[in-house]
Amino acid sequence: MISLGCAKNLVDSEILLGGLKKSQVNIVEDVNSADTIVINTCGFLDIAREESVDTILQAAELKKTGNLSQLVVMGCLSERYPAELKKDIPEVDRFFGTNDHHQIVSFLTGKDFAKDDPLFKRSLLTPNHYAYLKIAEGCDNACSFCSIPIMRGKQISRSVEAIKSEAERLVKNGTKELLIIAQDTTSYGWDLEPKQSLDDVIRELDKIGDPLKWIRLHYAHPSHLSQEIIDAMAESDKVCRYLDIPVQHISNHILQSMQRGLGEKGIRNRLDRLKQAIPGIRIRTTIIVGYPGETENDFLQLCNFIRETQFDRLGIFTYSEEDDTLAANLEDDVPRAVKDERKMILQEIQMEINLNKNTAIIGKTIDVLIDETKEDFAIGRTEFDSPEVDNRVIVHGDLQDGDFVQVEITDANEVELMGKVFDS
């Protein structure tokens, strides 16, 4: 099983693995020994599509040189461009969409599954101590640059009961950190009858006992971040003082063209309300540079906003035209070289911010969750860092995966803290 793309894709892969293991399929770690490979693709942004196609082609070569007899492709790219992929990569035996788990298991095992079969229990691809918890599928937003609603469809929220039940099962098996994800977590429950909200999910998950210690929220749309959600975060014993809230830009005319729902004033208001309600909160955001019509003045405004706001974590994307989106009808008038230069400038600004924030932690003692142990050191994260995308902590000491430890920070750079286990 090869899983590409975002955490939402990873959950889909985990569900499929659970179904395959339930059907007594032997899962191997060495790709060269596999007779079947399943690739879960990403179709969002050109660089991800290129990675997906390259991975498929590399796997297809194993039909000539290895044991591979069957190659199956699923996920967003497969959902988006099935006809083109079938034509261009005939080595693939079958293409499936994003939600075809039962059909894939049926194809691979020859066993029929009824539509009302219960959801397969997941087989985690993350370390056992943390897991992603998907609360909804699809998206109702109409952001002009985004093709996710085309690939994933309209939002379908899970019930609070189903979410809590899965969370309890994960925690029973040792999960200490739940990472809440959806295409837009803050619009969760609008499609349910009666309507529910993310604050309902937070309050229910907060009741779950040990070993659950951290609940981390991702993909919060600024337009939909209500005061009720902010209050639930502030009142929770387990929600991390961390929020992933993609703002995408700050120029009003770019935000309007992006159809983001809020302008500069609204975004600043949401950020201020978060900081007032949750002292010490760390905010992660993502922005897009080089969107059609982005002028030099728009970009300078964005640079000043990043310097002023001092985001704790920042992801930067260059605009990538997505077929059939509203932005695809606009002239992509920012040259590639300019996009890349603007991204580099923002990265330099953020690296300076990161270094200042991290060096300010030297000498302090903080809680760290250990994700991975090496021979003479361990790699962990603070409450303010999500796996893969944020900072990490290098800790010296005899530790195990999943340990919560207090670490005295002795050194730092732009993306890492270094320290030793605190000896009280």
Q: What pLDDT does residue 48 have?
A: 87
Angle at 119 between CA 118 and CA 125, to 5 degrees: 150
Q: What pLDDT does residue 79 have?
A: 87
Q: Alpha helix locations (H) across 26-142?
A: 46-65, 76-80, 82-88, 101-109
* Angstrom distance (rounded) from CA 365 to CA 101: 45
Query: Which residues of the chain are under the pLDDT cut of 70?
Result: 113-120, 424
Indicate left, alpha or beta for 292 from its phi (over 0: left) and psi (-120 to 50: alpha): beta
* Angstrom distance (rounded) from CA 124 to CA 18: 8
Q: What pLDDT does residue 45 have?
A: 78
Q: Give the fold, CATH level 3, of 2-109.
A: Rossmann fold (3.40.50)
Residue 382 CB-half CA count within 13 A: 25
DSSP bridge partners of 215: 178, 239
Cis bond before residue 222 (omega within 30° of 0): no
Contact of 36 with 108, CB cutoff 8 Å: yes
Q: What pLDDT does residue 353 have?
A: 97
- Looking at residue 119, the DSSP 8-state letter turns out to be P
Please spell the DSSP secondary structure of 344-410, one letter per residue.
HHHHHHHHHHHHHHHHTTTT-EEEEEEEEE-SS-EEEE-TT--TTTS-EEEEESS--TT-EEEEEEE
* Angstrom distance (rounded) from CA 204 to CA 135: 13
* Angstrom distance (rounded) from CA 73 to CA 78: 7
Picking from 227, 229, 342, the residue whose alpha carbon sits closest to that of residue 287 is: 342
Q: What pLDDT does residue 113 have?
A: 59
Q: Give the fold, CATH level 3, of 130-359.
A: pyruvate-formate lyase- activating enzyme (3.80.30)
The DSSP H or E segment spanning 262 is none
Mean of the per-residue pLDDT values of the chain: 92
Query: In this structure, what are the phi and psi dihedrals at residue 15, rounded to the nearest 5 degrees?
Result: -65, -45
* Angstrom distance (rounded) from CA 318 to CA 288: 6
Indicate left, alpha or beta for 5 from its phi (over 0: left) and psi (-120 to 50: alpha): left
Q: Is the dihedral of CA 180, 186, 192, 193 positive or negative?
A: positive
Q: In the chain, where are the structural domains located?
A: 2-109, 130-359, 365-421
3-state secondary structure of 265: helix
* Angstrom distance (rounded) from CA 246 to CA 186: 12
Contact of 372 with 394, CB cutoff 8 Å: no
Cis bond before residue 335 (omega within 30° of 0): no
The DSSP H or E segment spanning 273 is helix 264-277
Indicate the pTM of the whole model. Answer: 0.89
Picking from 90, 167, 129, 148, the residue whose alpha carbon sits closest to that of residue 400 is: 129
3-state secondary structure of 220: coil
3-state secondary structure of 341: helix
Residue owning tokens 């800790």: 395
Q: What pLDDT does residue 22 have?
A: 82
3-state secondary structure of 411: strand
> What CATH superfamily is the domain 365-421?
Nucleic acid-binding proteins (2.40.50.140)
Contact of 369 with 381, CB cutoff 8 Å: yes
DSSP bridge partners of 396: 420
